[in-house]
Structure 1
């Protein structure tokens, strides 16, 4: 009986190790700038302001046999905000918006991934922005995966989420059409 229990326990451990071994770890390709964190917000309801964060890094793990086990961890340097206008960027970095002197980083850490079975899914996690941590859900689509010309292997995803500014302590009045910001993420990772 002891041998049977030991064999069952060993089998469970080996099975767990095999499923863990299938997960692949990736580093987001920021060196080649093959990843983007961009935003779009209404300006007074008359036009849109577009911009991006140019400095960020992160990792993710993905298992094709078990996509729901995916994990993501991304840190954004909020001082790297770029809307293609220096004075506006200075204002967006100020206490009216991102307060980058007090909060120079934003961070997203996933808590779960729910695949739809068609290369899309919902990535849930905690976003910390301006010192406030809130759960968010990112709509994700798999772009593709395969070998690169340099002997490596890459995997890419895109995602989008709409954030309510007041949820993160940003209440500067730009009119009723400017209460939310749309985020677009394009992430290419290099397998480690």
Structure 2
């Protein structure tokens, strides 16, 4: 078996939109369709790609880390302070309103936590430590944001639950977002 290149974590750049948008949508599914006011994953990914290079919203490149192997992107983490969630969702509310849709967006992050909005790894890189490398970068982001807790939502049956448990996340309740039921997991930091 060939040796894997090391995983390098870097801040996302505007040029990462073509990689990031479809991977984000593949991961968030119904939430992405609700945010973008679309009915297909392809259309949602297109809208996310248009939003990604812009600042001031939840799925911005400014809130995203990219994992690379051998100079190629293989994963990403979108994270932001939970107390900013309502503000960061405002551009999506305005987008929905521009489409003639109700400006309803379920904000996910909670005050006091760095909310891990999206953790995604390409199919070919899953099970190779990329998700762990991204999760290991999260505590530093939390400290820089002045919070001491990580939080995320995960659907029942998502195999990533085991990964989150190995990284110290524990159940903290249930939430309903975009019509789906999610387990809220948190991890307190030292």
Q: Give the alignment's TM-score, normalised by structure 1.
A: 0.33
Max Rg structure: 1
Higher helix fraction (1 or 2): 2
Q: Give the alignment's TM-score, normalised by structure 2.
A: 0.33
